[in-house]
Structure 1
Amino acid sequence: MMMTLADQETEVIKDSCKVEKPIKLIELSQKPRVYRIPEFLTEEECNHLIDTSKNKLRPCNEISSGVHRSGWGLFMKEGEEEHPVTKNIFNKMKNFVNISDSCEVMQIIRYNPGEETSAHYDYFNPLTTNGSMKIGLYGQRICTILMYLCDVEEGGETSFPEVGIKVKPIRGDAVLFYNCKPNGDVDPLSLHQGDPVTKGTKWVAIKLINQKSKEGTPTQ
């Protein structure tokens, strides 16, 4: 049975740099490593990401590597991540992950009722030619930061079907999950999906954190 985890879970407090308040990580799972980050984004940051994206969205409707993603989205173009609001978001991420030049650009996606993303892995499969090539070019996708830009009336949870976890979208909250184990091996338990929105609209921002290392060992 799926379960929705709430604030009673284990809390992990990380020292923060110069941001408005400390970043709080609530541990939802150890295997895979999944954390909810309450109030990670401010109202201004949520509004900025939506307002600068809403007129540029294109249909996703993609099917690649067995993954089906409906909805409307975009990848930020070169220079757009340099906006002061976006840069402040990245500065907050540096409290708990290693942001490097090899990280991928932020993606913004809007889901209307009935739209979803099927179960998939974010990591590159090192056992395939394509996956191995991408690891060499970009570095393995060690972890993912999924940010909710609005509340969703019904549906739209982020689900981890292998471990029975559902995370409800709450405006300003984020989910941090690791696609790899601490030793750098890919983690099959990180399988996740965006459940269909049944009422309302869902906006998310996604930042994939890559680790480019000769040893292939992630920075924790």
Structure 2
Amino acid sequence: MKSFHKVRPELREWILATARAGHGVPEVLRLLKEAGYDAAQSRRAVSEVLDLPLSSLNAVTPRPSGRRPAHPQAPAVALDDRAIRVSISVDSPTLRVLEGLLTPSECDDLIEAARPRLNRAMTVDKDGRQQVDAARTSQGMFFALGETPMIAALEERLARLLDMPVEFGEGLQVLHYLPGQEYEPHHDWFDPSQPGYSAITARGGQRVASVVMYLNTPEEGGGTGFPAIGLTVTAMRGSAVYFAYETGEQASLHAGLPVVRGEKWIATKWLRERSFKG
């Protein structure tokens, strides 16, 4: 293993340049590990160069190398018989609002297929177990990968749009919110410092991106808020918000804002860095 007692100028410049390019601490540590540097000394170097408390890095696990989604860049993306328009583009966190991802009939069909199977939506606790959480008050259900031709077609569309294999996605989740229901601010990625991290990432690895698809337009409220960047994405039928966080991006903090009037239906797809197939 390589080692260093003092941070050499060229390594200092590399750490600074990598961080400035938008790579988080877990990604910097992963790259140092792949270059052959000792983990403990890498943490000390990153602590010194980025002026971070060493204690804050001791629980950070370097992200394993894996497949990353291709972020839609053009104002409009031609896919099959539709043009998916990128109406909002943000660099940090990587975020795109996609209009025309779903047709009205696809939205209606997803709602009707999910409706009979709804239950109280769950979250994942620190040990990787499903739990009822007061922060999430909606109802929801999961489809298996490729469960129906409609689900398979949508998964294939997302795979082509993001250049990610279908099997890197978790099963599609459909959620239903009534007035007053919400999902308080949270991250979709898994915290490496939590004791259940290894168990929940053993299949598929870390989450790297999310796609939230709006299946109807609520009468009022129900958007997706990103408080760190002061952005609220309006829930409009057929559109979606895509956001990536492959290095544990703190600014990907988001919330399903309360529905004020009417109801909200969404479908969520979470992407992993490796195949999620069992």
Q: Which has the larger radius of gyration?
A: 2
Does residue 211 (structure 1) correspond to residue 273 (structure 2)? The answer is yes
SS of residue in 1 equivalent to 2:154: helix
Amino acid at match of 2:137: S
Question: Does the 8 Å contact 1:113/1:199 carry over to 2?
Answer: yes
Identity of aligned residues (%): 29
Q: Indicate which of 26, 31, 54 corresponds to 2:87.
A: 26
Q: Indicate which of 37, 44, 52 corresponds to 2:105.
A: 44
Aligned to 2:173: 107
> Quick check: which one's strand share is greater?
1
Q: Deviations over 1:114-172 (max 9, x none)?
A: 00001100001123231233223221111001000001111101000111000000000
Alpha-carbon distance in structure 1 between the residues aligned to 2:202 and 2:123: 24
CA drift of 1:197 comes to: 0.3
Alpha-carbon distance in structure 2 between the residues aligned to 1:96 and 1:14: 14
Aligned to 2:137: 70
Alpha-carbon distance in structure 2 between the residues aligned to 1:101 and 1:88: 13
Does residue 187 (structure 1) correspond to residue 253 (structure 2)? The answer is no
Residue range with higher mean Cα deviation, 84-93 or 170-179? 84-93
Residue range with higher mean Cα deviation, 123-132 or 151-160? 123-132
Alpha-carbon distance in structure 2 between the residues aligned to 1:27 and 1:127: 33
TM-score when normalising by structure 1: 0.81
Q: How many residue pairs were aligned?
A: 197
Give the gaps of 5 or more residues in structure 2. Answer: 1-71, 127-132
How big is the alpha-carbon RMSD for the aligned residues of Structure 1 and Structure 2?
Answer: 2.3
SS of residue in 1 equivalent to 2:269: strand
Aligned to 2:96: 35
Say which structure, 1 or 2, has more relative contact order (CA 8 Å, 6+ apart). 1
Q: CA, structure 1 residues 97+195, in 2 after alignment: closer, same or farther (shift >3 Å)?
A: farther
CA drift of 1:103 comes to: 2.1
CA drift of 1:95 comes to: 1.6
Question: Does the 8 Å contact 1:26/1:36 carry over to 2?
Answer: yes
Does residue 57 (structure 1) correspond to residue 118 (structure 2)? The answer is yes
Q: Indicate which of 156, 163, 182 corresponds to 2:229.
A: 163
Alpha-carbon distance in structure 2 between the residues aligned to 1:157 and 1:97: 27
Question: Does the 8 Å contact 2:77/2:85 carry over to 1?
Answer: no
